[in-house]
């Protein structure tokens, strides 16, 4: 994960955590995975920015929307806590991220519902 991009401080235009992002742009399986990971005690993997899909894995930047959701909830992801614990650059980036005045979903569940996926696996 690349934590060094100084310009990457707020959710990108297509970030699914943004209320003004296009709906159903990402596959339903992506939202289902987010819901499953959210229920998991360890909080699942680190999530990369969707705009970085074609970059090599070590060049993928973290999803700022996901990071803001993690921070709002007290950083429940163990993977994220481990990444932050041993990486000053990641800590600095995490401390500087902002929603930049953008409206974000209040929860992963509400973001998924808006994109037609419900916690029980149902699709709307």
Angle, CA of 76, 81 and 82, to the nearest 5°: 140
User: What's 20's DSSP letter?
Assistant: T
Q: How confident is the model at residue 44 (pLDDT cuts 50, 70, 90)?
A: confident
d(CA 49, CA 45): 13
Predicted pLDDT of residue 6: 87
Distances (CA, A) of 90 to 45, 58, 101: 15, 13, 22
Q: What is the pLDDT of residues 12-33, one digit of tens each?
A: 999 999 999 999 998 999 999 9
- What is the rounded average pLDDT for all residues in the chain? 90
């Amino acid at each position: 994960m690349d934590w060094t991009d100084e310009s990457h401080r707020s959710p990108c235009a297509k970030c699914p955590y943004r209320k003004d992002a296009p709906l159903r742009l990402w596959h339903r399986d992506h939202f289902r995975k987010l819901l499953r990971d959210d229920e998991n005690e360890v909080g699942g993997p680190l999530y990369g920015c969707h705009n970085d899909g074609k970059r090599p894995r070590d060049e993928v930047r973290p999803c700022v929307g996901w990071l803001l959701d993690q921070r709002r909830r007290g950083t429940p992801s163990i993977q994220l806590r481990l990444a932050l614990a041993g990486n000053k650059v990641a800590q600095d980036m995490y401390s500087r991220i902002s929603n930049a005045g953008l409206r974000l979903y209040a929860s992963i569940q509400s973001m998924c519902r808006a994109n037609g996926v419900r916690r029980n696996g149902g699709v709307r």
